[in-house]
C-alpha cells in the first residue's frame, strides 16, 4: 500500500520533469542549450519514472528489469547527446 503510493508519487514527479524539459526544448534558441536541457531533464525524468516502477513492484522480475532500464538510461543518454553535439560542432565548423 505505502509502496504503491510512493511509486505513484515518484512517477508523477518524473512525468513533471519530462513536461518541463519539453517546454525548455521549445523555449531555448541555440541548439547547444537544447542539448543541455534534454540531457538533464529527460535523463532525470525517465530515471525517476523507472525508479517509481521499481518502488511500486519491489524485487520481482518486473522491478529488477525497470531498475536495469533506469541504470542503462542513466549511462547511455549523456553518451548519445555528446555524440550528437560533437556532430553538430563538426557540421558548424565546416
Partner 1 sequence: MNIAIFLLIAGSFVCIYPLVKGPTGMDRFLALVVLTLMCAGFIGVYAIVQESDFLVDFTLDTVILVFIGAIAVAKYMGGKELDD
- Which residues make up the interface to partner 1 (CB under 8 A)? 7-8, 11-12, 14-16, 18-19, 21-23, 25-26, 31, 34-35, 38, 42, 45-46, 49-50, 52-53, 56-57, 61-62, 65-66, 68-69, 72-73, 76-77, 79-80, 83-84, 86-88, 90-91, 94
Q: How wide is the angle at C-alpha 17 spanned by C-alphas 38 and 24, nearest 5°?
A: 45
Distance CA 32, CA 82 (A): 10
- CB distance 19 to 76 below 8 Å: no
- Shortest spacing between CB 54 and partner 1, in angstroms: 10
Q: Which is nearer to partner 1, 25 or 59 (CB)?
A: 25
User: What's the grid cell of residue 66?
Assistant: 525497470
Amino acid at each position: 500500500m505505502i509502496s504503491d503510493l510512493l511509486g505513484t508519487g515518484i512517477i508523477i514527479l518524473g512525468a513533471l520533469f519530462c513536461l518541463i524539459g519539453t517546454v525548455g526544448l521549445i523555449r531555448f534558441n541555440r541548439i547547444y542549450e537544447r542539448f543541455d536541457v534534454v540531457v538533464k531533464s529527460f535523463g532525470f525524468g525517465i530515471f525517476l519514472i523507472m525508479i517509481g516502477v521499481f518502488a511500486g513492484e519491489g524485487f520481482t522480475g518486473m522491478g529488477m528489469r525497470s531498475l536495469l532500464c533506469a541504470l542503462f538510461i542513466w549511462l547511455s543518454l549523456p553518451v548519445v547527446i555528446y555524440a550528437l553535439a560533437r556532430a553538430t560542432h563538426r557540421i558548424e565548423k565546416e
